[in-house]
Structure 1
Amino acid sequence: MVSLIYSLRHHTDEVSCCAFSPSLLATGSIDKTLRVYNTADFSELPFSPLLGHGYGVHSCCFSSCGSYLLSCSTDGSTIVWSSETGEKSAVLQHPGRSPLRVCALSPDSSLLLAGACDGTVALWDLPSKTIRRCSAVSEASIVACCFSPCGQMFVTGCTYGDLKLWDADISLLHAEKDAHDLGVTCCKFAPQFKVDGCCVEIRLASCGQDSQLKIWIVSQREGAACVVKLLHALTSQSAPVLSCAFSFDGELVVSGSVDKSVAVYDASRGTLLHTLTQHDRYVTAVALSPTMPWIATGSMDRTVNVWRIGDGDIGAAAESRQAVCQGRKLPGHSRLLLADWSEEDVQTWLCEEGLEELISVFKVNNMDGPELSQLDKETSAELGIDSVGLRGRLLRKIEALKAEESGSETPDEFLCPITRELMKEPVIAADGYSYERESIESWIRGKTKTSPMTNLPLQTTLLTPNRSLKMAIARWKSSSSF
């Protein structure tokens, strides 16, 4: 069952894109604005709407940790926004000033890709905000792009209907000519990949003007060329399909169409599970939450609908957890130093950061701001926080607080999620996150085979070197006083 839980009607023109972080929903529109909502109650944040683009916003996405929101526009720029303050962190202009139709981030947020109307893609190193390359990849407009979950390749789709697979240096790996008759409109990789012997398989969804949603299997054996095979061609929608997205576990794929409907499919079987028909005009955008059973759909009717998947039990539990986090608002970091926080401030902060399960532990130990600032791996373990992943998330949040006070600019993406130390040999695990090799190998050797970041089972223990991230760290170290 899928039920409508919210309708957001704040945009003054058609909605063009939407994206979830673990705690926020962002929506973009042809009215030149982005709007940002708290997923606790889908209230609009005080700094919303975000104003900065000179023309309509076409695409938006969050960084992997949710700290940054990115958007691109007909004005040829990609803007990097702070998700906490709404302030501009950077404005990245396409070298040819060509209108941008789509943007995407690599899973570790080290690379930013933007597709342009002149058939080029611009690839930026996001931490340093420097462009690595701008290359012509098609004779037609690039309207779709996405990174693979391992971050080592990406796909582009154009208005001529071709899908092309590229490596991180923008070298062509595979071309699927006429993947969609009359043009591609969107493409998205599933969040996970599967390893069968020495072969890696990833699922890719694409949709187009041919009124079809297609699911492909992208596979590659070590030392061999990439192979792209069609798994399903889904035709339940009667008009061009404009948008698609996978659920966080890869089990569902959702699409929005010119026929005003939203289709929800079983991604493995290719069977239609639900058809949603609440929009009055074309459905231009779909997104699924990485943490909750929610779908967001945007339309030319200027509305963003939020849907709950399932019978409501999960949603009710979430609402119960969110209710705990209402009440006294966390003092702004700019107004109170961490050393001045009371026990109540610390507990409110835990709620704000999605760590409400630690409240009882902190209450029993009378943890206030000064004690919070002194927590490390050993002391957090002594508190009885058994989950290494949970301890890692807590320490990451504490380091972010300290960085705000000290003015540290060390990119969070450069720190291993397990040890919170600068990575020397970063590798990508099956959950799509990057870790220090020694730390994740030690984690995998333990009793649990779950992701330190998501707590979901790791489908494989294969680790892929993240050369792009390693190079980015080296560049940062050489350009700083590290």
Structure 2
Amino acid sequence: MVSLIRAIRDHTDEISCCAFSQSALVTGSADKTLRVYSTADFKEFPFSPLTGHGYGVHRCCFSSCGSYLLSCSTDGSIIVWSSETGELLSAVEHPGRSPLRVCALAPDSCLLLAGACDGTVALWDFPSKTLRRCAAASEASIVACSFSPCSQVFVTGCTHGDLKLWDDHISLLLAQKDAHDLGVTCCSFAPHFKIEDSCVELRLASCGQDSLLKIWIVSQREGTAWTMMLLHILTGQTAPVLSCAFSADGELVVSGSVDKSVTVYDANLGTLLHILKQHDRYVTAVALSPAFGLMATGSMDRSVNVWKIGDGYEETEAESQQAPCQGRKLPGHSRLLLADWTEEDVQSWLCEEGLDELVMIFKTNNIDGSEVNHMSKETVAELGIESVGLRGRLLRKIEALKAEQSGSEAPDEFLCPITRELMKDPVIAADGYSYERESIESWIRGKNKTSPMTNLPLRTTLLTPNRSLKMAITRWKSSQ
């Protein structure tokens, strides 16, 4: 049993990552911020949001003790935050200032790892924040990494599709070529390992652009080399799989996909248990809590959904208020205009806004988004809603929704892909994408000769003014 208990929509851009500690949930976004919530009621902590990165946040994680929160970014830095106060404690930078796509902290909190767009991995001593080594791991961008539960080895995944196992000196132990032939997107070790007859056995999940989720057995018998054996190929999703994670007990593995779905599998048997379709766009991040049977999923639709899995989480007041909406899409902040909402969308929005008692009235009268869009005091009274206060609440919610949807948020194509800010001087780069001139020039000056969007080499650093886009932005600004 998996049920939706909360939908969070505080970020202003797509969600890139999420992670749990024992008492907190953190979410990271292309809007350059991290937001931190209590797992008791999913209210945002007073110190949230956290701002410190110059570009979008790619990955976030907690230390095993929960005291530290880490995040990495296109700006080439990893920031260490206090998870209790939100204070920025320290920061480390990639030696070559290459954009960082992924970071991980060893379970024993001794080593900090980062994977970069230039194909290198950097390893720091976490207590002292001193760089131990930075070494080439691939000719392609490193987009995935994970420490083993014993903290002694780690795995990396790249956009060429290879998985590689390394020791804590960045010495290669094992290479699995073309593990995902169109590119790896994420990898994650299960939190437990077995030792039998002098053999260490680990479980690893990986996913990729080939639309597959794979589970591997990574093992080493004393005195022999490491081996990697494919255990399961999971095919429950129909488009590239962008994220994967194990549950705290290693019994479940979940994944998020470009097909907008989240899948939950039995990690031992490889059987599909649930397919969840509550997001409006690509599911970019999944995370499971260490103890409470909670799962978080993040999406390009800018929302984070929090789920209850099984009986491992006691119902909170927040959950009981959301209960009538379980299993439905919550479209209140989706990109659909109100006039285009279906009857089911309207009913789910009522639940989201705490107007559950009106669901049956709206259902009986077949009210869709167009009807809501034209509601007035008179039409609301005709519905037979006796409570004057309830009628007033409904009208205020509708007005707030209409105001939100008619707001001045810039179209996505007017935002620079690097900074996610409205462009003033858009230029076209060799990859065909448009960027703010200052941002892409800074990117190139930082020895990044690859596309910020595709990670492929730029054939030339020549930039061409995009005059038509600049005119469109000017027209849009004058209309606001």
Shorter-normalised TM-score: what interval?
0.5 to 0.7
Q: Which amino acid aligns with 2:247?
A: S
Alignment of 1:216-231 (within 5 A): 216-231=216-231
Q: Deviations over 1:309-331 (max 9, x none)?
A: 115774469989xxxxxxxxxxx
Distance 1:318 1:15, change over 3 A: closer
Distance 1:220 1:12, change over 3 A: same
Q: CA deviation at 1:195?
A: 1.4
Q: Deviations over 1:115-143 (max 9, x none)?
A: 00000011011100111000101000000
Q: Normalising by structure 2, what TM-score?
A: 0.66
Which residue in 2 is equivalent to 1:436? none
Q: Distance in 2 between matches of 1:186 and 1:226?
A: 21
Distance 1:311 1:148, change over 3 A: closer
Which residue in 2 is equivalent to 1:3? 3
Q: Normalising by structure 1, what TM-score?
A: 0.65
Which residue in 2 is equivalent to 1:169? 169
Q: Deviations over 1:402-449 (max 9, x none)?
A: xxxxxxxxxxxxxxxxxxxxxxxxxxxxxxxxxxxxxxxxxxxxxxxx
Is 1:258 equivalent to 2:263 in the alignment?
A: no
Which residue in 1 is equivalent to 2:85? 85
Which residue in 2 is equivalent to 1:12? 12
Q: Which amino acid aligns with 1:211?
A: S
Is 1:133 equivalent to 2:133 in the alignment?
A: yes
The sequence identity of aligned pairs, in percent, is 78
Alignment of 1:176-187 (within 5 A): 176-187=176-187
Distance 1:317 1:152, change over 3 A: farther
Alignment of 1:355-366 (within 5 A): none
Q: Decide whether the 8 Å contact of 2:38 with 2:44 is kept in 1.
A: yes
Q: Distance in 1 between matches of 2:311 and 2:68?
A: 32
Q: Decide whether the 8 Å contact of 2:113 with 2:121 is kept in 1.
A: yes
Whose radius of gyration is greater, 1 or 2?
2
Is 1:194 equivalent to 2:168 in the alignment?
A: no
Is 1:105 equivalent to 2:101 in the alignment?
A: no
Alignment of 1:283-322 (within 5 A): 283-311=283-311, 314-315=314-315
Q: Deviations over 1:131-164 (max 9, x none)?
A: 1000101000000000000111000000000000
Which residue in 1 is equivalent to 2:207? 207
Q: Distance in 1 between matches of 2:33 and 2:317?
A: 33
Q: Which amino acid aligns with 1:155?
A: V
Shift >3 Å, 4+ stretches: 311-320
Q: Distance in 2 between matches of 1:223 and 1:116?
A: 32
Q: CA deviation at 1:22?
A: 0.3
Q: Which amino acid aligns with 1:66?
A: G
Q: Distance in 1 between matches of 2:69 and 2:288?
A: 16
Q: Distance in 2 between matches of 1:135 and 1:313?
A: 43
Q: Deviations over 1:181-225 (max 9, x none)?
A: 110000000000011211110000000000000000001011100
Q: Decide whether the 8 Å contact of 1:40 with 1:319 is kept in 2.
A: no
User: What runs of 5+ residues in structure 2 fail to find an aligned partner?
Assistant: 321-480
Distance 1:313 1:148, change over 3 A: closer
Q: Decide whether the 8 Å contact of 2:292 with 2:312 is kept in 1.
A: no
Which residue in 2 is equivalent to 1:397? none
Q: Tell me, what secondary structure is at the counterpart of 2:35?
A: strand
Q: Deviations over 1:96-119 (max 9, x none)?
A: 000000000101111100000000
Q: Distance in 1 between matches of 2:168 and 2:221?
A: 18
Q: Decide whether the 8 Å contact of 2:119 with 2:139 is kept in 1.
A: yes
Q: Distance in 1 between matches of 2:198 and 2:85?
A: 45
Q: Distance in 2 between matches of 1:71 and 1:247?
A: 21
Q: Which amino acid aligns with 2:90?
A: A
Q: Decide whether the 8 Å contact of 2:207 with 2:243 is kept in 1.
A: yes
Q: Which stretch has the larger CA shift, 84-93 or 265-274?
A: 84-93
Which residue in 2 is equivalent to 1:159? 159
Q: Tell me, what secondary structure is at the counterpart of 1:25?
A: strand
Alignment of 1:412-431 (within 5 A): none
Alignment of 1:43-122 (within 5 A): 43-122=43-122
User: What runs of 5+ residues in structure 1 fail to find an aligned partner?
Assistant: 321-482
Distance 1:10 1:240, change over 3 A: same
Q: Distance in 2 between matches of 1:276 and 1:138?
A: 35
Q: CA deviation at 1:251?
A: 0.1
Q: Distance in 2 between matches of 1:84 and 1:251?
A: 30
Q: Tell me, what secondary structure is at the counterpart of 1:298?
A: strand
Distance 1:5 1:317, change over 3 A: closer
Q: CA deviation at 1:66?
A: 0.5
Q: Deviations over 1:253-276 (max 9, x none)?
A: 000000000000000000000011
Distance 1:33 1:225, change over 3 A: same
Which residue in 2 is equivalent to 1:332? none
Q: Decide whether the 8 Å contact of 1:20 with 1:287 is kept in 2.
A: yes
Alignment of 1:319-468 (within 5 A): none
Which residue in 1 is equivalent to 2:467? none
Q: Deviations over 1:56-111 (max 9, x none)?
A: 00000001100010000000000000111111111101000000000001011111
Q: Tell me, what secondary structure is at the counterpart of 1:245?
A: strand
Q: CA deviation at 1:10?
A: 0.2
Distance 1:15 1:319, change over 3 A: closer
Q: Distance in 2 between matches of 1:303 and 1:221?
A: 44
Q: Deviations over 1:12-35 (max 9, x none)?
A: 000000000000000000000000
Distance 1:312 1:98, change over 3 A: closer
Q: Which amino acid aligns with 1:44?
A: E
Q: Distance in 2 between matches of 1:56 and 1:210?
A: 26
Distance 1:98 1:4, change over 3 A: same
Q: Distance in 1 between matches of 2:69 and 2:91?
A: 12
Q: Decide whether the 8 Å contact of 1:293 with 1:314 is kept in 2.
A: no
Q: Deviations over 1:385-411 (max 9, x none)?
A: xxxxxxxxxxxxxxxxxxxxxxxxxxx
Q: Which amino acid aligns with 2:149?
A: P
Alignment of 1:227-246 (within 5 A): 227-246=227-246
Distance 1:311 1:87, change over 3 A: closer
Q: Decide whether the 8 Å contact of 2:140 with 2:160 is kept in 1.
A: yes
Q: Distance in 2 between matches of 1:40 and 1:312?
A: 14
Which residue in 1 is equivalent to 2:414? none
Which residue in 1 is equivalent to 2:26? 26
Distance 1:272 1:50, change over 3 A: same
Q: Tell me, what secondary structure is at the counterpart of 1:270?
A: coil
